[in-house]
Amino acid sequence: MSFIRHPYVLASLIALALAAWILSGVGNAPEQTKRATLGDADKATEVTARRVQAETVMREVNLYGRTQPDRMATLRAEVKGRVLEVLVERGARVTSGQPLLQLHQRDLPQQLARARAELKQRQIDFDASNKLAQQGLQGRLRQAEVETELVKARAEVKRLELDLAHTTVRAPFDGVLNDRFVEEGDYLAIGDKIGTVADLDPLVVNAEITEMDVVGVAVGQTAQASFIGDAPVAGTVRYIASVSTEGTNTFRIEVALPNPDGRLRAGKSTELQLPLEASKAIYITPALLALDELGNLGVKTVEADIVRFLPIEVVKADGDGIWTGGVPDEVTLITIGQGFVRDGDPVLVTYEEAAQ
Say which CATH number the domain at 318 has: 2.40.420.20
What integer pLDDT is reported at residue 321 of this predicted model?
85
**Per-residue pLDDT at 172 exceeds 60:** yes
Interatomic CA distance for residues 15 and 22, integer angstroms = 11
The CATH number of residue 208's host domain is 2.40.30.170
The answer to the question of residue 28 being in a domain is: yes
The answer to the question of residue 188 being in a domain is: yes
Stretch 163-189: mean pLDDT: 95
The answer to the question of residue 95 being in a domain is: yes
The answer to the question of residue 319 being in a domain is: yes
Q: How far is CA 347 from CA 309, 337, 350, in A?
A: 13, 10, 10
User: Residues 283, 326: one domain?
Assistant: yes
The answer to the question of residue 40 being in a domain is: no
How does residue 2 score in pLDDT terms, banded at 50, 70 and 90?
Answer: very low
User: Residues 115, 211: one domain?
Assistant: no
Task: Please choose, from the candidates 97, 65, 46, 96, the residue with its C-alpha nearest in 3D space to the C-alpha of residue 274.
Answer: 65
**Per-residue pLDDT at 293 exceeds 90:** no
What single-letter amino acid sits at 232? Answer: P
User: Residues 176, 234: one domain?
Assistant: no
User: Residues 187, 215: one domain?
Assistant: no
User: Residues 223, 140: one domain?
Assistant: no
The answer to the question of residue 39 being in a domain is: no
The residue count for the chain: 356
Contact 329, 53 (CB under 8 A): yes
User: Residues 182, 248: one domain?
Assistant: no
User: Residues 213, 265: one domain?
Assistant: yes
User: Residues 234, 146: one domain?
Assistant: no
In percent, how much of the chain has pLDDT > 90?
53
Reported pTM:
0.64
Stretch 342-353: mean pLDDT: 88
User: Residues 153, 255: one domain?
Assistant: no
The answer to the question of residue 164 being in a domain is: yes
Q: Tens of pLDDT along 229-248?
A: 788 999 999 999 999 998 88
- Domain count along the chain: 4
Task: Please choose, from the candidates 207, 211, 217, 219, the residue with its C-alpha nearest in 3D space to the C-alpha of residue 250.
Answer: 211
User: Residues 319, 232: one domain?
Assistant: no
Residue 48, CA atoms < 13 Å, CB-side half-sphere:
8
User: Residues 302, 242: one domain?
Assistant: no
How does residue 15 score in pLDDT terms, banded at 50, 70 and 90?
Answer: low
Expressed as residue numbers, the domain containing 27 is 1-34
Q: Which residue has the higher pLDDT, 279 or 34?
A: 279
Domain end marker among 260, 277, 294: 277
User: Residues 178, 215: one domain?
Assistant: no
Domain end marker among 163, 195, 227: 195
Stretch 249-260: mean pLDDT: 95
Domain end marker among 195, 223, 246: 195
147-156 CB contacts, 8 Å cutoff, 24+ apart: 149/122, 149/125, 150/119, 150/122, 150/123, 150/125, 150/126, 152/122, 153/115, 153/118, 153/119, 153/121, 153/122, 153/123, 154/119, 156/115, 156/118, 156/119
The answer to the question of residue 267 being in a domain is: yes
- When computed from its CA atoms, the radius of gyration of the chain, rounded to whole angstroms, is 45
Q: Tens of pLDDT along 3-14?
A: 444 444 445 545
